[in-house]
Amino acid sequence: MTSLRFPLLLLGLLAGAASAAPSHDLYICAAVNKGYVIGSKIVTVNGLFRRGAAGEWQHLGYNDTSVRAVDFDPRNRAVIFTAANNGCWRSLDGGQHWRITTSWDMTEPLDVTIDPHAPDTVYLALPDGIAVSPDRGQTWPRRENGLPERGKYTQVVEVDRTQAGRVLAGCESGIYLTTNGAESWTRVLPTDTTVDDIKQSPHDPRLWLAVTQSNGAWISRDGGLSWKQLAGVPSAHALYNVAFDPLHPSRLAIGSWTLGVLTSEDGGETWTARNAGIPDPHKVWRIAVDPDSGSLYASVVGEALYSSEDFGRTWKRGGLEASTVNAFLFLPVSTP
Amino acid sequence: MKKTFLSLCLAILSGAALPAQPSFTAPPPSKAVVPGADTRREAYDQRIDEALAWRSGLVNLAKPTTLDPAAIAAKLVRHEDVAACSARVIELMKEGGSGPFWMFPSVCLAYTGRDSLSAEARAAIREAWRTNMQLRGDTENHWAMYYTSLYLMSELYPNDPAESWYTGKSSAESLAESREYLIHWMDLMTTVGQGEFNPTGYITEYAIPMLYLATWAHDPEMRMRGRMTLDWLFADLAANTLNGVLRGPHARTTENPVMERWNDQASFYSWLLFGNTPPPASYAGFGLYFAVAAKNYQLPEVIYRIAVDRGPDYVQRDLKRSRRRWRYSDVLMAPIYKTSYMRRDYAVGSFQGGRADPIQTHVWDVSWTVADPRGAHSTLFSVHPYSSPEDMQTSFTAYPEPMIPNLASEGKPSYDAPDKILGASPYEQVFQDLDTIVALYDIPPGTRHPHVNAFLSRDLVDRTEDPSGWIFARGGNAYLAYRPLAGYTLAPFQGYKQQPSKAGYKWERIATGDTLLQSPHLKNGSIVQAASVSEFPSFAAFKAAILALPLEFRLEPVPTVKLKTLRGKNVVVTYGQTPVVDGYPVDYTKWKLFEGPYLNAEKGSRCLTITHGHLKRVLDFNHLSITDSVTP
């Protein structure tokens, strides 16, 4: 769910200019409300936030504790899609007004992704499959040909940035690939339990990482066609998400409730738990790497957003008190 | 919402004396049948008035916080303090809620006050529906409340544009979506059974929206659907109560009513509709939201008679369905085969085991009649205290690890407690024939909480542990024989008492006076047989009769019981296999939607026939018709 959905055009410059003005806007989907249950009073602001120039968090849209994922139309930053309890929300005016684009028959989507090469096309991960809007959320036909009737709980959908209509989906029964805009899906990795996250490397579009609930972490070097398990990553505990360091191709990170933050600095060959300064139990929900500063972020459930300037060796509490971040999204500021 | 109401009551308790709750504090009501329709109606109206008067009487206009939405609705119906109500609505609407538990009260205010609240107050309600996003939730009761509320608000403001609603959809769009879901839900209920079936508490979260639909829907079809669904729910309630107290099993209930059977929302509806049991304290809180529109509902006599005018003992078999299973399951919804055996002195209820809901299911019990159900723990049952975050993932779009720590703060404190008595297990298989229960357990090694719990009520008398292995006791006018199939220990049971809290739920464990039987064996089982005191000359005679019945059992390789029941049936139950009665396997494929002396419906029929004596009512959702007849 942590995403670098867009090409990092300024990557080379960024590597040597971490202290310059940020080249990316950071958006997060966060719940900042401990103990909320349906029916109780929401006492804080939740949902979609944008980090401002001074590091402050600017809230966009409704106060919604359930926003899981966000994506923006690459042609027009004012067009926003979120996945939340009520369905897929869309704003056409930068978050001023919103519409639930789905109906009662699609609930609790877990991820939403726009195809950057066919940006009218939006993919939606659902507890009971996958829907694809061909018209910017006007309609949501199911696109599940090739998915099993049972076993299609979908946690994550990730579009291959190099090819329109090429998408990987993380489901309860494995990773599925489509190359034709979800007209059909093929299972490329079977798993026993849910695939919790899939990411494409910002450095090499053929390189993908995936983490699962009980089958460990996996790497693909051929665009997701074949997968190899990462031997250095334990599979005894659920792994929630994975991140590439946009500034250092060999740096990878994984977030896990039980294991905390795992990092690799050799492209996934070896892994080290990096939790000095993170509460114990760790309860790491999401991790991400800032493409401008190289900071490694870890959201600790109900606690705060933690950040590390040395790729996990030390951590400091970095604001967003009592929050749980469901998604990080970095967008180039140059996008209109 | 429940917390809010509790807080309000505590706040008021600390101040002035509370007005009386006559029916809550009075002796139990008469169980006599009221034959006259006018007399019944008059008593029904009086009960409504009692609840509304109490709620209105709690208000201290000098303390605006005592004027909550339920109080405002009560006052509007009673034509009291309308100006104060209008002012308070404007204040309340500045803080819009976050989902269905805010939506239906605000709909209640919008409709009860549409001719009396000030224009500013009505506008405030409408504006809150523009500015405050409402979560739809993730359960059937959430959706019933959510879509009924959205439907009614869309009808109240039929031509408003998309930008005037939090959904970003126009009134017409929301009306269509809500209507489509509600019809879909009713279709499921009337073809393959209710999801959150036989609920002790959640009944109110269906009854209130259906009453509102029946009362306020402009579309006559939806009004009719609301009315028919209310009849359906209340017919089911009537057939599953004994002296007004709802009997098990339940898709969902909570820690306290699983012991004190009377103490939940269902008893408010029995009191209001049937008049045969006291209402819970504060008229169950939410009950007030039903009461404000209750005069628009007329309970059919045939349902009233089922609740209060019982003939011979009866078996009612119903088909229900499990909660939706998103993943790790071969089916989206599993069938639930529910059995209730109702006698004057006790009831035995069960379904086949496994999970109906991952958290709060109550699978089986024997519960007996008492003169006054208030405070009575009139029940006996066993459970495997199953706890598995991975299992909960079948129904929740969540990761495994946070689920257990979150449950206690979300009002489900016992989920992971080894001594819990609430919840179902995939390792439990239950068979019932009349008043015999056989519950078998085959718990895989390594399972969390690898033991069986049984609840032995403080209200059991003459409880004895017979050398044969049977535990004998008397509950009310019922003789009970309970046979644990493996060794056990006995310990005081600790219940849960909710504490005031400003953030999430807080609970205190308290001794209830009951006893917890714990059996630490993976291969395990329980047998229960029950009888009325009047059937035997003495308790000793009952014991002798039980001991004389042939019983064989073994626990390896899987638990198996072969016995002759008190009613003469030869039963063989083997874990993992279909039970056999008098040589014939139970055929669950022939299970009907309802089958019994009072309620009958074929699976898939959308048509329920409700009968009592000469009275018959047919609820036909195919033609949206209600047909009453009186047979000669």
Label residue B364 by pLDDT band (50, 70, 90): very high
Following DSSP, what letter does each residue of B480-494 receive, concatenated?
EEEEESS--EEEEEE
pLDDT at B7: 45
**Residue A261 or residue B5, greater confidence:** A261
**Mutation choice for A interface testing from B359, B391, B397 by most A CBs within 10 A:** B397
- Please give the average per-residue pLDDT across A255-280, as a whole number: 98
Average pLDDT score, chain B: 95
Tell me which chain A residues have a C-beta less than 8 angstroms from the C-beta of B168: 89-90, 97-100
- Please give the average per-residue pLDDT across A200-229, as a whole number: 98
Cβ neighbours around A116 below 10 Å, total: 19
- Please give the average per-residue pLDDT across A66-70, as a whole number: 97
pLDDT at A34: 64
Q: Is A153 on the interface with B (CB under 8 A)?
A: yes
CA distance B89 to chain A (A): 17
pLDDT at B14: 44
pLDDT at B465: 98
Residue B467 to residues A80, B240, B536: CA-CA distances in angstroms? 72, 36, 21
Displacement of CA B520 from its chain's centroid (Å): 31
Displacement of CA B330 from its chain's centroid (Å): 27
Q: In terms of CA atoms, which chain A residue is nearest residue B170?
A: A99
Q: Would the CB atoms of B401 and A107 count as touching at under 8 Å?
A: no
- Please give the average per-residue pLDDT across B601-625, as a whole number: 98
B103 within a domain of the structure (yes/no)? yes
Which residue bears the tokens 């939806």? Answer: B222
Please, are residues A163 and A134 in contact by the beta-carbon 8 Å criterion? no
A175: Cβ contacts below 8 Å, ≥ 6 apart: A168, A169, A187, A188, A189, A191, A195, A198, A210, A218, A224, A227
pLDDT at A318: 87
Q: In terms of CA atoms, which chain A residue is nearest residue B501?
A: A35
The alpha carbon torsion through A37, A43, A48, A50 (nearest 10 deg) reads -150
pLDDT at B501: 80
Least confident of A54-58, A171-175, A285-289, A307-311: A54-58
**Mutation choice for B interface testing from A40, A68, A283 by most B CBs within 10 A:** A40
pLDDT at A42: 77
pLDDT at A233: 98
User: Are B497 and B400 in a shared domain?
Assistant: yes
pLDDT at A37: 67
B151 within a domain of the structure (yes/no)? yes
Q: Is A151 on the interface with B (CB under 8 A)?
A: yes
A55: left (phi over 0), alpha (psi -120 to 50) or beta: left
User: Are B45 and B83 in a shared domain?
Assistant: yes
- The answer, yes or no, to whether residue A157 has pLDDT greater than 90, is yes
- Please give the average per-residue pLDDT across B49-53, as a whole number: 97
Label residue B2 by pLDDT band (50, 70, 90): very low
pLDDT at B17: 58
Cβ neighbours around B67 below 10 Å, total: 25
- The answer, yes or no, to whether residue A198 has pLDDT greater than 80, is yes
pLDDT at B506: 83
Q: Is B142 on the interface with A (CB under 8 A)?
A: yes
- The answer, yes or no, to whether residue B355 has pLDDT greater than 80, is yes
Query: What are the two backbone dihedrals, phi and then psi, of residue A27, each rounded to the nearest 5 degrees?
Result: -115, 145
- Please give the average per-residue pLDDT across B508-532, as a whole number: 97
d(CA B36, CA B49): 20
Tell me which chain A residues have a C-beta less than 8 angstroms from the C-beta of B100: 38-39
Helix (H, G, I), strand (E, B) or coil at B539: helix
User: Are B44 and B171 in a shared domain?
Assistant: yes
B617 within a domain of the structure (yes/no)? no
Share of chain B above pLDDT 90, in %: 92
Here the tokens at position B416 are 């992971």
Q: In terms of CA atoms, which chain A residue is nearest residue B4?
A: A40
Q: Of B277, B308, B339, which marks where a domain is finished?
A: B308
d(CA A168, CA A158): 5
Here the tokens at position B456 are 């032995």
Reported as a single tens digit per residue, the pLDDT across B437-463 is 999 999 999 999 999 999 999 999 999
pLDDT at A22: 85
pLDDT at B529: 98
User: Are B319 and B287 in a shared domain?
Assistant: no
- Please give the average per-residue pLDDT across A217-245, as a whole number: 97
What is the domain class of A11-15+26-34+65-332 according to CATH? mainly beta
Here the tokens at position B399 are 């990761």
Helix (H, G, I), strand (E, B) or coil at B568: coil
Helix (H, G, I), strand (E, B) or coil at B304: helix
pLDDT at B405: 84
Cβ neighbours around A309 below 10 Å, total: 15
Please, are residues A122 and A113 in contact by the beta-carbon 8 Å criterion? yes
User: Are B340 and B394 in a shared domain?
Assistant: yes
Label residue B527 by pLDDT band (50, 70, 90): very high
**Mutation choice for B interface testing from A38, A197, A283 by most B CBs within 10 A:** A38
- Please give the average per-residue pLDDT across B75-90, as a whole number: 98
User: Are B499 and B561 in a shared domain?
Assistant: yes
CA distance A21 to chain B (A): 35
d(CA B278, CA B593): 31
Residue A233 to residues A4, A230, A252, A270, B357: CA-CA distances in angstroms? 23, 6, 12, 8, 34
Tell me which chain B residues have a C-beta less than 8 angstroms from the C-beta of A280: none
pLDDT at B410: 78
Reported as a single tens digit per residue, the pLDDT across B98-125 is 899 999 999 999 999 999 999 999 999 9
Q: Which amino acid appears at position B98 of this protein?
A: S
Q: Where are the beta strands (DSSP E) in B520-614?
A: 523-532, 551-554, 560-564, 570-574, 580-581, 584-585, 594-595, 599-600, 607-612
Interface of A with B in 47-66 (CB under 8 A): 62-66
pLDDT at A17: 39
Q: Is A257 on the interface with B (CB under 8 A)?
A: yes
pLDDT at A334: 64
Q: Is B398 on the interface with A (CB under 8 A)?
A: no
B122 within a domain of the structure (yes/no)? yes
Widest distance between CA atoms in chain A: 51
Tell me which chain B residues have a C-beta less than 8 angstroms from the C-beta of A86: 133-136, 167
Following DSSP, what letter does each residue of B47-64 receive, concatenated?
HHHHHHHHHHHT--TTSG
User: Are B389 and B290 in a shared domain?
Assistant: no
User: Are B235 and B303 in a shared domain?
Assistant: yes
pLDDT at A10: 32
Domain extent at residue B254: 2-308
pLDDT at B82: 98
B605: Cβ contacts below 8 Å, ≥ 6 apart: B190, B191, B593, B622
d(CA A107, CA A119): 23
CA distance B224 to chain A (A): 22
Q: Is A42 on the interface with B (CB under 8 A)?
A: yes
Q: In terms of CA atoms, which chain A residue is nearest residue B104?
A: A39
Looking at the structure of chain B, the number of domains it has is 2
User: Are B212 and B349 in a shared domain?
Assistant: no
Q: In terms of CA atoms, which chain B residue is nearest residue A36?
A: B504
Tell me which chain A residues have a C-beta less than 8 angstroms from the C-beta of B102: 39
Q: Is B187 on the interface with A (CB under 8 A)?
A: no
Tell me which chain A residues have a C-beta less than 8 angstroms from the C-beta of B162: 99
Tell me which chain A residues have a C-beta less than 8 angstroms from the C-beta of B174: none
A/B interface, count of CB pairs below 8 Å: 116
Q: Is A34 on the interface with B (CB under 8 A)?
A: yes
- Please give the average per-residue pLDDT across B533-550, as a whole number: 98
Label residue A7 by pLDDT band (50, 70, 90): very low
Q: Is A280 on the interface with B (CB under 8 A)?
A: no
Of residues B509, B463, B468, B467, the one with CA closest to residue B490? B463
Label residue B18 by pLDDT band (50, 70, 90): low
Q: In terms of CA atoms, which chain A residue is nearest residue B176?
A: A103
Partner residue facing A38 (CB), from B142, B169, B393: B142
Label residue B408 by pLDDT band (50, 70, 90): confident
pLDDT at B505: 79
User: Are B266 and B410 in a shared domain?
Assistant: no
User: Are B342 and B223 in a shared domain?
Assistant: no
User: Are B266 and B213 in a shared domain?
Assistant: yes
d(CA B6, CA B19): 16
Here the tokens at position B433 are 């024939």
d(CA B316, CA B325): 27
ipTM of the complex: 0.94
pLDDT at A2: 37
Q: Which amino acid appears at position A246 of this protein?
A: P
Helix (H, G, I), strand (E, B) or coil at B548: helix
Helix (H, G, I), strand (E, B) or coil at B418: coil
Least confident of A67-71, B11-15, B454-458, B589-593: B11-15
